[in-house]
Structure 1
Amino acid sequence: MSLSQAQKKAFRSIGHHLNPVVTVSENGLSEGVLAELDRALTDHELIKIKLAMAERDDRAAMLNELVADSGAELVQTIGKVALLYRASPGGNPKLSNIKRFENHHGRH
Structure 2
Amino acid sequence: MELTSKQKSFLKSEAHHLSPIVQIGKNGMNNEVKTSIRNVLDARELIKISLLQNTDETVEDVADALEEMGFNVVQKIGRIVVVFKVSDRKENRKISAKVKAI
TM-score (norm 2): 0.80
Aligned positions of 1:6-17 closer than 5 A: 6-17=6-17
- 2:7 counterpart letter in structure 1: Q
Q: Which residue of 2 aligns with 1:40?
A: 40
Alignment CA distance shift 1:50-1:59 (3 Å): same
Q: Is 2:84 aligned against 1:85?
A: yes
**How much has 1:15 moved relative to structure 2?**
0.2
Please state whether the residue corresponding to 1:92 is helix, strand or coil.
helix
Please state whether the residue corresponding to 1:20 is helix, strand or coil.
coil
Q: Which residue of 1 aligns with 2:19?
A: 19
Q: Matched residues in 1 for 2:90 and 2:71: separation?
A: 15
Contact 1:42 1:91 in 2 (8 A): no
Aligned counterpart in structure 2 of residue 98 of structure 1, from 95, 98, 101: 95
- 2:86 counterpart letter in structure 1: A
Contact 2:75 2:81 in 1 (8 A): yes
Q: Matched residues in 1 for 2:58 and 2:10: separation?
A: 28
**How much has 1:59 moved relative to structure 2?**
2.5
Contact 1:43 1:92 in 2 (8 A): no
Residues 17-63 of structure 1: CA distance to partner in whole angstroms, max 9, x if unpaired? 11111111132122211111000110111111102247897221122
- 2:79 counterpart letter in structure 1: K
Structure 1 residue ranges (4+ consecutive) displaced by more than 3 angstroms after TM superposition: 53-57
TM-score (norm 1): 0.76
Cα RMSD (Å): 2.6
